[in-house]
Structure 1
Amino acid sequence: MASKAFAIWGSYVPHMGTGDSGSRRPGFALNWKRDTERSCNLRCFGFSGDFSALLATKPVEDENPASPTVELQRLVDQFESKESRRSQKDSNSLPKPLSVTNPSSSASNGSNVRVAYQGVPGAHSEAAALKAYPQCEAVPCDQFEAAFKAVELWLVDKAVLPIENSLGGSIHRNYDLLLRHRLHIVGEVQLAVNHCLLGLPGVRKEELKRVLSHPQALAQCENTLSKLVVVRESVDDTAGAAQFVAASGLRDTGAVASARAAEIYGLNILAEKIQDDPENITRFLVLAREPIIPRTDRPFKTSIVFTLEEGPGIIFKALAVFALRDINLTKIESRPQRKRPLRVVDDSNTGSAKYFDYLFYIDFEASMADPRAQNALGNLQEFATFLRVLGSYPMDTIL
């Protein structure tokens, strides 16, 4: 008989290791570069009135008067220099993303909840963090794992990370990290995601030759991008794509990101709501070091992960423990175990059979304070080889 391991609220002895070797991709440094070829309104330089009148004006006291073209170029250069200094100041004021290798963080002001998210300012994850905690201090992280570690190292109080999207499906990386790290799900956030096509000021969408964004965002805007006939390139996050377009100054390159990212990085919105399906919802999990006390006075959801022995009807038995108690399942996800993905079975003299060894993640609509949920998990423990409760938390019912 296989050895069993069970866990409630994260204290457990794992049945199997679940290490993961995620690759690290470089982020983008914010280094603004303005395109001096764009058309300029003279009001930007502090002038008003007729443009042709300015060009006709000739100062009589100057023995070597500058030509109107030279004078205009001088004004453009002054404006660009001022804009460059202001943009550099603005970029320096943005929070620097935490990383796994350098998880240092600026000190908290002590008044707000600090919430980690993956990406840079303007990311949809930042919007989800602000929806969960409107007065929070949102802390950017360059990777999902950096956000997990920021909570574990007490650099932040919470982390808000995406787990599934109504168009793109599950974010498998975060399912793996949920088991690898000993944090607890204490809430969820459902966010309506509207993708925008962004470009440098003065650029038309027909001029774009390539578009950058997160792979899921690119996939969600397949129809629009196909009509534009552009090359699609993947980056770490949507706001990072906007940041790169602004920093590089490439007029033939656009980004799929949020309207807030356009505002932050000085880009124009070339098209709004370009996703294939207008009902584009991303569900985020709120993670913390300690679980919350489950209640029954409002709708709750519980997330668990478990493993099963191989055998006929074993998955049916696992799901039946919920059906028999009238508990609704809202999510079922299977992930292969990382360090031992195959299980070898040899019950005959003819050879061995190999099966994939899976972890099963389930979300169900019931609080751990509900006797039905307690009895269901007690029943599941009878034949599960490993069981862990990831969290019991209030459902988000508001978009």
Structure 2
Amino acid sequence: MAQRQKIAFQGEYGAFSEQAALAFFGNGCTPVPREGFRDVFQDVLTKKVSAGIVPVENSLFGSVHQNFDLLQEFPLSIVGEVKLRIRMNLMSLPGTSLRSVRNVYSHPQALGQSDRFLRSLKDVTLHQFYDTAGAAKMIAEQQLTGAAAIASLQAAEHYGLKVLKKGIETDRQNFTRFVVLSRTPVRPRGAAKTSLIFSTNHAPGSLVQCLSLFAERGVNLLKIESRPIVGRPWEYLFFVDVAGSSTDEHLVSALTEMKEHTSSLKILGSYTIGKVVR
């Protein structure tokens, strides 16, 4: 019998990251919960797991900056992606009514994404927690009365909680993009994208020169984001997604010339454009 792939994710069982792992790898994988994002990267690097999966951006709340920093730090490759529709649900101990809830626990992004519903509740205090599913687990283990968590339906089922209200997210077009991490790069099949990080030479027009190399070769720029460089005030790293594989002739040409205008350049990986899971 083939050994099941172990896939590290941040959070507890029932977390959206676990759903993303199952959506990408299928039910034949074994999701492995880890406390922090750095733990996921470290487990992949040290071969404790076959791969890892982490969120990098949400359609409503933007990028998960810590994971961009970790992508720069760790010598790992992005080998895939999946975009997961996020549905927020309010849950509590069985026997709890919506009117009796006085404290709501969840990850800061989940609280923010459910802001309109939460503002409709009276006399409720919001508490930030490290993980959506972790909030559900805490309520179940500590048997907290008058408390509710915002998490997935899978978390409610896993921890034996009652769902008080389904679909409390403010915007139904709520998606999170997850990337899959591996020690070894892959050759993408079909439509591909390439992710890279670079810093420019400290000279006027350097960023424009870099980006124009893609435009001149008809390479579609899919995403660009800047992050400050630690220890170098007012200097930035740029995270970029472009259409195509790093082995495509036009992209090879752009990246080769780009080295003349950058002080650092790291290709994070080329991979097949991921599916949207609703």
CA contact (8 A) 1:367 1:392 kept: yes
Q: Which residue is 1:367 aligned to?
A: 245
State how many pairs are aligned.
275
Q: Would the aligned equivalents of 2:136 and 2:156 in 1 still touch at CA under 8 Å?
A: yes
Does residue 251 of the first structure (1) align with residue 145 of the second (2)? yes
Matched, 1:337 2:215: no
Give the number of the structure whose residues are more often strand, by fraction: 2
Q: Paired residue for 2:118?
A: 225
Q: Distance in 2 between matches of 1:110 and 1:289?
A: 21
CA distance in 2, matches of 1:168, 1:248: 30
Looking at structure 2, the residues matched to 365 and 397 of structure 1 have their Cα atoms a distance apart, in angstroms, of: 15
Is residue 165 from structure 1 mapped to residue 58 from structure 2 by the alignment? yes
**SS at structure 2 position matched to 1:139:** strand
The corresponding residue for 2:165 is: 271
Report the TM-score, using the length of structure 1 for normalisation. 0.67
Who is 2:130 aligned against? 236
Runs of 4+ in 1 over 6 A off after TM superposition: none
Range 278-287 or range 223-232, more displaced: 223-232
CA positional deviation for 1:377: 0.6
User: What amino acid is the match of 1:182?
Assistant: P
**1:110 CA displacement:** 5.6
Inter-partner Cα distance in structure 2 for 1:357 and 1:381: 18
- The Cα shift of 1:365 comes to 0.9
Is the 8 Å Cα contact of residues 108 and 129 (structure 2) preserved in structure 1? Answer: yes
In angstroms, what is the RMSD of aligned CA positions? 1.2
Give CA deviations for 1:196-252 in whole Å, capped at 9, x if unaligned: 001111111121111111111111011011111421111111000000111121221
Alignment check: 8 A CA contact 1:294 1:369 kept: no
Question: 1:384 Cα deviation (Å)?
Answer: 0.6
- Residue 314 of structure 1: CA displacement? 2.0
Q: For 1:76-127, what per-residue CA distance to the aligned partner results, in whole angstroms no more than 9, with x for missing partners? A: xxxxxxxxxxxxxxxxxxxxxxxxxxxxxxxxx9621110000110000000
1:193 aligns with 2:86: yes
SS in structure 2 of the partner of residue 291 of structure 1: coil
Q: Is 1:319 equivalent to 2:197 in the alignment?
A: no
Q: Which stretches in structure 2 are left out of the alignment for 5+ residues?
A: none
Give the match's secondary structure for 1:282. strand
Distance 2:171 2:205 in 1: 37
2:85–2:276 CA contact under 8 A, matched in 1: no
1:212·1:233 contact (CA, 8 Å) conserved in 2? yes
SS in 2 for 1:388: strand
CA distance in 1, matches of 2:218, 2:127: 46
Spell out the pairing of 1:18-37 with structure 2 (5 A cutoff).
none
Q: Structure 1: 5+ residue runs without aligned partners?
A: 1-108, 343-355
**Contact 1:294–1:368, Cα closer than 8 Å, also in 2:** no
Q: Which residue of the partner structure matches residue 178 of structure 1?
A: 71
